[in-house]
Amino acid sequence: MTSPGEPGPGTFTYAYPRPALTVDCVVFGLDVDDLKVLLIQRRLEPHQHMWALPGGFVRLDETLPDAARRELAEESGITDVYLEQLYTFGALDRDPRERVVTVAYYALAKLSDHRIRAATDAERVAWFALDGLPRLAFDHAKIVERAIERLRGKVRYAPVGFELLPPRFTLTQLQRLYEIILMQPLDKRNFRKKLLSMDLLIETDEVEQGVRHRAARLYRFDKKKYEKLTRQGFSFAI
Amino acid sequence: MTSPGEPGPGTFTYAYPRPALTVDCVVFGLDVDDLKVLLIQRRLEPHQHMWALPGGFVRLDETLPDAARRELAEESGITDVYLEQLYTFGALDRDPRERVVTVAYYALAKLSDHRIRAATDAERVAWFALDGLPRLAFDHAKIVERAIERLRGKVRYAPVGFELLPPRFTLTQLQRLYEIILMQPLDKRNFRKKLLSMDLLIETDEVEQGVRHRAARLYRFDKKKYEKLTRQGFSFAI
DNA sequence: GCATCTTAGTGTACAACATACACTAATAAC
DNA sequence: GTTATTAGTGTATGTTGTACACTAAGATGC
């Protein structure tokens, strides 16, 4: 059913029509006091010059998460993120050209780690605060909305928040992270009590640098122990 | 990019190769004392005569959930189920013929409601207990496994269990349902206390029929009220 | 080196919720 | 009316969540 001709456009023929299949990524990054999303400005039609999620067509020789990572790297330069499937969007009219089904992923990136740079289909790349998003191409606003919902849910019963922080962090940074994602203030003593009682934070002998007040102790998350406990039925909860 | 020729096989050509896109459904039904999954026996290659999940190719003029419902109705005769997207599976070798990406759905059906009957691609249709599943075609065992995980998670913080019961049910039936899905015994008094304290069960003036002991009162779930409370931030939990 | 500023770090009392547990009441069947 | 079976109910205890405010440490500027 498929005719040959590997790289570059060719002619591929099938007995039944097929939707195009793409992946799109909602990449979250934690800034000083808000949560940001990575967007690219489209170089090409449709929706030329509009802001959109990084993403693109799935190739036959790559899995869905591979496609998501490739597109992310190509269009924005971002690599090494925590990536998880979000939802598959298939409304009939979500792309003006033809039927396109997209598998959306969401990713958590450490903002400071990444020098973003636009390339391939992207004219520009930038981080946008969640409450200051521009109008987005296609149904990408819906996808972002769903990703936020999911992140808010997930962060409460899985330790994904650590993916947004540097490997060593203070308890105050961790608390700010939860406050930003959940959009509600948390009590300092109760927060520390809960987190420390899980016994998944390892106290290091370092303190934060470059602050102009008493420096806070740095902790790391004990991922190994978390995975072990999880296998034994433990469940993380904030 | 697409050439015409609507129903029946034709010739559809594209500039780049495309994976085939299918949907598959994991339909759960509640039996007297276990949870069952609906399977079909494949009439066609590949994996001819093997048991598999109902599902099939997505047409260009239907949404993903529409495709799932259509395939379910065609192959098994089941309609009117609670349907929710589960996950999209895209491993390179999940179908021996060619690259096929499938959007999996899970569905909750009231066992008694449905006269199942095989048709189209299905040689037979049957309900199988979860702990007595036959070897399944493709990666369908993985899909079922993931669906069970999801159901177990979901049932704890969303009132989806009611989709498996008749509209009027006894508290004992409801408790059995949770015990079966969660695979753990629950305390009768505590269970009733918790459920009734949410104030989402409406006591009817009917009692169950045809039992040879004291008949239990029938209740209904107040879906309207649940939706209203949910919008106000309430969250269901068992 | 002292005063000031800023954040780090800590404990307790009370309320809410989860858990463990056993008997009487109602109805059907005979 | 006797028996069998499930319905239906409350309380005491432990565990967890919540509300709340001060002292300690270190950095900075004088």
pLDDT tens-digit series, residues A204-226: 999 999 999 999 999 999 999 99
What residue type is A47 in one-letter code? H
Q: Which helix (H) or strand (E) holds B22?
A: strand B20-30
Is B6 inside a domain boundary? no
A112 pLDDT more than 90: no
A58 and A86 within one domain: yes
B2 pLDDT more than 50: no
B150 and B51 within one domain: yes
On the 0-12 / 13-18 / 19+ scale of CB atoms within 10 A, B99 is: buried
Is A26 inside a domain boundary? yes
B179 and B132 within one domain: no
Q: Which domain CATH number covers A179?
A: 1.10.10.10
Among B127, B154, B181, which residue terminates a domain? B154
B81 pLDDT more than 50: yes
Q: How far apart are CA A151 and CA A28, in angstroms?
A: 9
A2 pLDDT more than 70: no
Domain count within chain B = 2
- Interior angle at CA A123, CA A120 and CA A127, nearest 5: 105
Sequence-ordered alpha helix ranges (H) in chain A: 64-76, 140-157, 171-182, 188-197, 223-231
Read off the pLDDT of each residue in B9-18 and give the average, rounded to a whole number: 94
Using the Cβ of B230 and the Cβ atoms of chain A, whether some distance falls under 8 Å is answered with no
Of residues B45 and A74, which shows the higher confidence score? A74
Sequence-ordered alpha helix ranges (H) in A39-187: 64-76, 140-157, 171-182
Is B227 inside a domain boundary? yes
Chain A residues closer than 8 Å to B87 by CB: 85
Among A133, A154, A175, which residue terminates a domain? A154
pTM: 0.94
**What pLDDT, on the 0 to 100 scale, is given for residue B3?**
44
A137 pLDDT more than 70: yes
On the 0-12 / 13-18 / 19+ scale of CB atoms within 10 A, A78 is: buried
* Chain B interface test: which of A14, A23, A150, A156 (most B C-beta within 10 Å): A14
Q: Measuring from the CA of residue A212 to each C1', which nucleotide is nearest? A: D27
Contact assessment for residue A95 and residue A143, using Cβ atoms and an 8 Å cutoff: no
A146 and A133 within one domain: yes
Distance B187 CA to C21 C1' (A): 10
Using the Cβ of A12 and the Cβ atoms of chain B, whether some distance falls under 8 Å is answered with yes
A29 and A143 within one domain: yes
Is B1 inside a domain boundary? no
**CB of B184 nearer than 7 A to strand C:** no
Chain B residues closer than 8 Å to A236 by CB: none
Among A124, A154, A184, which residue terminates a domain? A154
Q: Which domain CATH number covers A43?
A: 3.90.79.10
Could you list the residue range(s) of the whole structural domain that residue A187 is in?
159-231
Minimal Cα–Cα distance from B13 to chain A, Å?
Answer: 4
Q: Measuring from the CA of residue A203 to each C1', which nucleotide is nearest? A: C9
B37 and B123 within one domain: yes
Chains A & B: contacts with CB separation below 8 Å = 98
**What pLDDT, on the 0 to 100 scale, is given for residue A106?**
98
Enumerate the β-bridge partners of residue A55: A24
A175 and A146 within one domain: no
Percent of chain B at pLDDT > 70 equals 97
Minimal CA–CA distance to B220: which of B169, B184, B172?
B169
A144 and A164 within one domain: no
- Confidence label for B7 from pLDDT (cuts 50, 70 and 90): low
A118 and A187 within one domain: no
On the 0-12 / 13-18 / 19+ scale of CB atoms within 10 A, B237 is: exposed
Evaluate the CA torsion angle B116, B119, B124, B127 in order and state its sign.
negative
- Confidence label for A57 from pLDDT (cuts 50, 70 and 90): very high
Of A12, A14, A21, the CB nearest to B101: A21
Using the Cβ of B153 and the Cβ atoms of chain A, whether some distance falls under 8 Å is answered with no
Interface predicted TM-score (ipTM) of this complex, two decimals: 0.93
Is B13 inside a domain boundary? no
**What pLDDT, on the 0 to 100 scale, is given for residue B112?**
79
What's the per-residue H, E or C state across B120-144? CCEEEEEEEEHHHCCCECCCHHHHH
Q: Measuring from the CA of residue A189 to each C1', which nucleotide is nearest? A: C10
Chain A residues closer than 8 Å to B103 by CB: 88, 90, 101
Three-state DSSP state, A33:
coil
Q: Measuring from the CA of residue A214 to each C1', which nucleotide is nearest? A: D26
A69 and A39 within one domain: yes
Read off the pLDDT of each residue in B144-155 and give the average, rounded to a whole number: 97
A1 pLDDT more than 70: no
Read off the pLDDT of each residue in A177-188 and give the average, rounded to a whole number: 97
- Confidence label for A155 from pLDDT (cuts 50, 70 and 90): very high
CA atoms within 13 A on the CB side of A84: 14
CB spacing of B11 vs A10 below 8 angstroms: no
**What pLDDT, on the 0 to 100 scale, is given for residue A5?**
42
B89 and B164 within one domain: no
Chain B residues closer than 8 Å to A57 by CB: 16
**What pLDDT, on the 0 to 100 scale, is given for residue B99?**
98
A113 pLDDT more than 90: no
- Confidence label for A114 from pLDDT (cuts 50, 70 and 90): confident
CB spacing of B99 vs A13 below 8 angstroms: no
pLDDT tens-digit series, residues B167-215: 999 999 999 999 999 999 999 999 999 999 999 999 999 999 999 999 9
A163 and A98 within one domain: no
A121 phi, psi to nearest 5 deg: -75, 0
